[in-house]
Amino acid sequence: MRKLVIPLLVVIIVLFLMSVFVIPEGDRGIVVRFGRILKDNNDIAKIYQPGLHFKLPLFDRVKTLDAKIQTMDGRSDRFVTAEKKDIIIDSYMKWRIKDFGQFYLATGGGNVMTAEALLSRKVTDMLRSEIGSREIKQIVSGPRNDNVLPSINSDAVATEAAKQALEVEGQRDKIMQNVLEGTRQNALKDLGIQVVDFRIKKINLPDSISKSIYDRMRAERETVARKHRSQGREKAEVIRAQAELEVATILAEADRDARTIRGKADGEAAEIYAKAYKQDPKFYSFWRSLKAYEQSFNNKSDILVLDPKSEFFQYMNNPNGDSGKSSSK
Per-residue pLDDT tens, the chain, 329 aa: give them.
Answer: 667 777 888 888 888 888 888 989 989 888 888 878 888 777 778 888 899 888 888 888 888 899 899 999 878 888 988 888 888 899 999 999 998 888 888 888 888 899 999 999 999 999 999 999 888 888 887 665 555 444 444 444 444 444 444 444 578 889 999 999 999 888 988 899 999 999 998 888 877 767 777 788 889 999 999 999 999 999 999 999 999 999 999 999 999 999 999 999 999 988 887 887 777 777 777 777 777 777 666 666 666 666 666 666 666 666 565 554 444 43
Alpha-carbon 75 to chain mean position: 29
DSSP letter string over 164-225? HHHTS---HHHHHHHHHHHHHHHHHHHT-EEEEEEEEEEEE--HHHHHHHHHHHHHHHHHHH
Q: Which amino acid is at 150?
A: P
Q: Which long-range contacts (CB under 8 A, 24 or more apart) does 291-300 make?
A: none
Interacting residues of 93 by C-beta distance below 8 A, sequence separation 6+: 71, 72, 74, 119, 123, 183, 195, 197, 198, 199
What pLDDT is attached to residue 297? 67
The model carries a pTM of 0.55
What pLDDT is attached to residue 254? 95
What pLDDT is attached to residue 157? 41
Neighbours of 115 (CB within 10 A): 22
